[in-house]
Structure 1
């Protein structure tokens, strides 16, 4: 049997997890199956790679040698695969825009602007709840640009591989049924909603933790949070089942209103990312400009947000010179 990349991935997973049980969970394997594979690899390499103990496993000297090489080989192979995909797409024919995005109001605006400015050039989209998944698609060459958001000032994914530029920063507003007792207020304190149920779209960033922390500062723990798709969030708010969290650019919708949270305790930063070595990187300035214009248009459509921005200059569309 020859040594394969999957064997190196197994060795790395065991070392990083510190136990066979945890590594098996990460790899999606049963522990007996993982143990059997490890034994086969150890026979192939001529010795034990890990010492088993009460507190897990630790590499043997042979294991340290193999791990050292593994840390070089696996990233190199990943980089080779990604570069090959980007190279292949460089010669794939006519130009196109392959956009990846998380769910939000800006992706549609960006698609519309690109299709209008570049008639005849295909524009395709891929959406995911996961910012990391979208960024990975760009890094692997399956997508040209990522339009994502990050909570507050938290960094975007894959900063070591992708170039990111800011599109704009929005406060997080609260979304209420139009007949909610607080709907007539110009702004709402989190503490006023201490007994509410909440609804929000899922994601893999820190927003859920930041929301929980903001509620704790306001003196309460949310009774419940329904994480679901945008349409379901809107429905839950419209029928009075929950209040929602949304970006301030959320478009006007029948049956509900959006209101600022006092003190703007939560914010959302819109970003465009691309791989600097991809053929499409030459279009990055154009795509960034269209994304910023789409964000400015979304702000203008929400008159309540546009009015709120007058007194909050730290938010809104990014300055054209921003990096």
Structure 2
């Protein structure tokens, strides 16, 4: 783990709030998640930054030193980001559209929509595990659009000039080895899943792991997660029978792994599209949303487990931009 600008912002927020509870609320984080992040920052920097007690969080002498440097550095960084964002938007051309995406099924649909409505544009894309990093790039003018995602109580922070449009909130499903005993069930209880070793994404940047852990803890079961992986590596750990995990409802099922709904739908994931208010996609926003929503519905239909879930849970995964009749268009 390397020190990042957002870590300095976290420390300043804690100092200003005077407690981890108030700071967590200001940062749209859970208090346990913020405590974990603070411990990692303290370990990285080499000392305790705050004395934590009933009266709140007070900077230590070492913390005062770090905060003094942070307060000296952050205004310059903010000015740099603001100036470069303005310059990038001035230089931006409707002939170039850079798209970023987290691991989600929407990137292809978004790129096709951009090509349809801006046929002369040069369209490029890149992926990143962290929606916050992509949002930073969008704000700074390094991207024109992005596919993002978040979880309940972990909404992406608003940014000046950036339009954040939620597309759909879908359930999170269990990802199992095909030979696993739970794979034969129509739905898997979260407490049953927590009895097995998990593979989880790394805890920094993307807050997925924090969300999974907090929901499991609230249910009274905190799973053991000896494996830290993302994407293809996570799937391979599950396929090998070394772990169970969670996945998006639209996960493309592959040989050796099985997707099952979670009983009671305790976890959710929200797909969000974002672009600049004054960028080249803004005039086509509604059309792009409808095109991406239609593509998402096609992806749902091609995911048998999710298609069956949607059939039995009408109205629970609404797509307001799916078409003139909303969800009824699927």
Question: TM-score, normalised to structure 1's length?
Answer: 0.72
Give the aligned partner of residue 291 of structure 2: 290
Tell me the SS of whatever aligns to 2:184. coil
RMSD in angstroms over aligned alpha carbons? Answer: 3.5
Give the aligned partner of residue 171 of structure 1: 171
Give the aligned partner of residue 88 of structure 1: 91
Residues 276 and 190 (structure 1 numbering): CA distance in 2 closer, same or farther, change over 3 Å?
A: same
> Offset of 1:311 from its aligned partner?
2.9
Tell me the SS of whatever aligns to 1:283. helix
Number of aligned residues? 275
Give the aligned partner of residue 245 of structure 1: 246
Question: TM-score, normalised to structure 2's length?
Answer: 0.71
Residues 200 and 122 (structure 1 numbering): CA distance in 2 closer, same or farther, change over 3 Å?
A: farther
> Offset of 1:112 from its aligned partner?
4.0
Give the aligned partner of residue 104 of structure 1: 104
Give the aligned partner of residue 208 of structure 1: 209
> Offset of 1:122 from its aligned partner?
2.5
Tell me the SS of whatever aligns to 1:231. helix
Cα deviation digits, residues 42-94 of structure 1 (max 9, x gap): xxxxxxxxxx9958649xxxx9xxx7x999876455323211110111xx4x5
Cα deviation digits, residues 104-162 of structure 1 (max 9, x gap): 22213333454466555322102111111101111111111110110125321344442
> Offset of 1:296 from its aligned partner?
1.2
Tell me the SS of whatever aligns to 1:241. coil
Cα deviation digits, residues 227-286 of structure 1 (max 9, x gap): 323111111111101112101011121121100111111100000111213343223223
Correspondences of 1:103-182 after superposition (within 5 Å):
103-115=103-115, 119=119, 121-182=121-182
Tell me the SS of whatever aligns to 1:296. helix
Preserved CA contact (<8 Å) 1:176 1:243: yes
Tell me if 1:255 matches 2:250: no
Any unmatched runs of 5+ in structure 1?
A: 1-8, 32-51
Any unmatched runs of 5+ in structure 2?
A: 16-37, 48-58
Tell me the SS of whatever aligns to 1:124. strand
Tell me the SS of whatever aligns to 1:310. helix
Could you list the runs of 4 or more consecutive aligned residues of structure 1 that deviate by over 6 angstroms after TM superposition?
28-31, 69-74
Preserved CA contact (<8 Å) 2:195 2:223: yes
* Distance in 1 of aligned mates of 2:208 and 2:247: 12
